[in-house]
Amino acid sequence: MVDFLIVGAGVVGLSLAYRLAGRGASVCVLDRREPGQEASWAGAGMVPPAGAPEIVSPTRQLAAWSAKLHPELAASLKEETGIDNGFHYCGAWECLPPSLSEAESHLQNAWNAEQIPFESTMPEKIKHAEPSLTLPHSAEFKTFYLPTAGQIRNPRHLKALLMACQLRGVKVIPFAEVEAIPVDVNGVIKVETAIDSYTAKQYVLTAGAWTGRLARQVGVPLEVEPIRGQIVLLKGEKRLLFHDLNEGSHYLVSRPDGRLLVGSTQERVGFRKENTAGATANLLKYACDRLPEAATMQIEKSWSGLRPGTPDKLPYLGRLGDTENLFIAAGHFRSGLEWSPATAEVMTQLLLGEELLFDLSPFAPGRSCSEETLSSLDPKELLHL
């Protein structure tokens, strides 16, 4: 029997295992596939800016503390594993097309409230910084520059987390899909897979879009919906973009090696992960409209991930239902990588009975979505409601 059994080896589950093992706990992590191969791997690695923890709203504490912890975590992982996860502050252009003009004042108010540095940028300044970038010539098309936006290489980060967990003694078991979670009056008895069963003092569900299915096995109806996001990766001989570009549901993320990530979609199609011709064509058109030179780039690959969506776009963090030894950390939607450091830290504190980094009540399973909750979302999420 281990101290903690974590179901789900994505960025949230591995980050939690890493923290718990660092505190001396024995940890086992199960995953239905190989570790880190679902939404955690599929994202573009953007880390939006966030305000200081002491000034943000309760529902923004997750982003604020994560923004503070990301550089520390990157340094620790590199020291322990030798793997550089690529975290750096790259800056980002936030573009508001006319269709999103009504969000401009709300967005600026949110940035000001959190003391996030930004500036309204004139076309000539953008052209000087990004010679290859083409934006619409319209007074209604607004562009802001966010200097503290960051970037991480998802696959490297997950590789580093997995290695660091193993170096700290965490047992990670792939291809161990959970088939049953028997419970009694004292809580979870064990977790059963097709080939084995596992026992622990405490259990945590961190299975992303699949967490709702697991919760129903213990009689808790939890709203976690898979939202498909498709991405296309282009490969070129030179770097065309030097800062991330966000424009409504679209984004461009450029790597120093000349690769360009083009995203993304938000599709309610259940657990279907295939890429579609229509979405790919739409993403490629967007890339070529903004970076005409992208038309000559090679299509290296495309993929999709299933983001775990919740009704209010906030994750579930805390004890699940009335089961004494069962917890959940899931439902991060588009922000799993971004919010994983603070999620792991505060969940570690909760599981060890320590004082919490911040109040978890806004993230409690079973909460109801309110207007206050929606108004306190990540400023960028306001563009996607």
User: For 162-216, what is each residue's pLDDT tens digit?
Assistant: 999 999 999 999 999 999 999 998 899 999 999 999 999 999 999 999 999 999 9
**Alpha-carbon span 5 to 17, nearest angstrom:** 9
Residue that terminates a domain, selected from 274, 305, 336:
305
- 342 has pLDDT over 60: yes
Please check whether residues 167 and 96 belong to one and the same domain.
no
Query: In DSSP terms, which residues pair with 183 in a beta bridge?
Result: 188
* Gap between the Cα atoms of 356 and 33, Å rounded: 32
Do 8 and 75 fall within a single domain? yes
Q: Which amino acid is at 63?
A: A
pLDDT reported for residue 377: 52
Where does the pLDDT of residue 370 fall: very low under 50, low under 70, confident under 90, or very high at 90 and above?
low
Give DSSP secondary structure letters for 325-352: TEEEEE--GGGHHHHHHHHHHHHHHHHT
Judgement on whether residues 269 and 352 belong to the same structural domain of the protein: no
Q: Which domain holds residue 95?
A: 89-150+226-305
- d(Cα 346, Cα 327) in Å, to the nearest integer? 12
The residue type of 68 is K
Average pLDDT over residues 45-73: 93
Q: What's the pLDDT at 38?
A: 80
Q: Among all chains, which residue has been given the structure tokens 């129903």?
A: 216
Region 276-287 average pLDDT: 97
170 shares a domain with 194: yes
Mean pLDDT of 140-146: 91
263-280 pLDDT, tens per residue?
Answer: 999 999 999 999 999 999
**Are residues 165 and 204 located together in one domain of the fold?**
yes
- Which one of 305, 327, 358 terminates a domain? 305
CA dist 343 and 66 (Å) reads 8
Task: Sort strands 2-7 and 27-30 into parallel, antiparallel or unpaired.
Answer: parallel
Q: Which of 305, 327, 351 is the last residue of a domain?
A: 305
CATH number at residue 360: 3.50.50.60
277 and 287, same domain (yes or no): yes
Judge whether 40 and 247 are in contact, CB under 8 Å: no
- CATH code of residue 251: 3.30.9.10
Q: Phi and psi of 295, rounded to 5°?
A: -60, -25
| Same domain assignment for residues 36 and 140 | no
Residue with token string 């996030």: 116
**Who wins on pLDDT, 139 or 160?**
160
Query: Average pLDDT of the chain?
Result: 92
The answer, yes or no, to whether residue 376 has pLDDT greater than 60, is no
Global pTM reads 0.93
Q: By three-state DSSP, how is residue 45 classified? A: coil
- Average of per-residue pLDDT across 34-42: 81
Provide the percentage of residues in the chain whose pLDDT is more than 70: 95
Least confident of 74-78, 178-182, 321-325, 370-374: 370-374
Q: 366 and 245 in one domain?
A: no
Give me the mean pLDDT over the 229-256 stretch.
94
Number of structural domains (the chain) is: 2
168 and 239, same structural domain? Answer: no
Q: Among 37, 317, 321, which residue's Cα sits nearest to residue 181?
A: 321
Same domain as 161, residue 239: no
Q: Do 193 and 217 belong to one domain?
A: yes
Asked if residue 346 has pLDDT above 60, the reply is yes
Answer yes or no: do 117 and 32 share one domain.
no
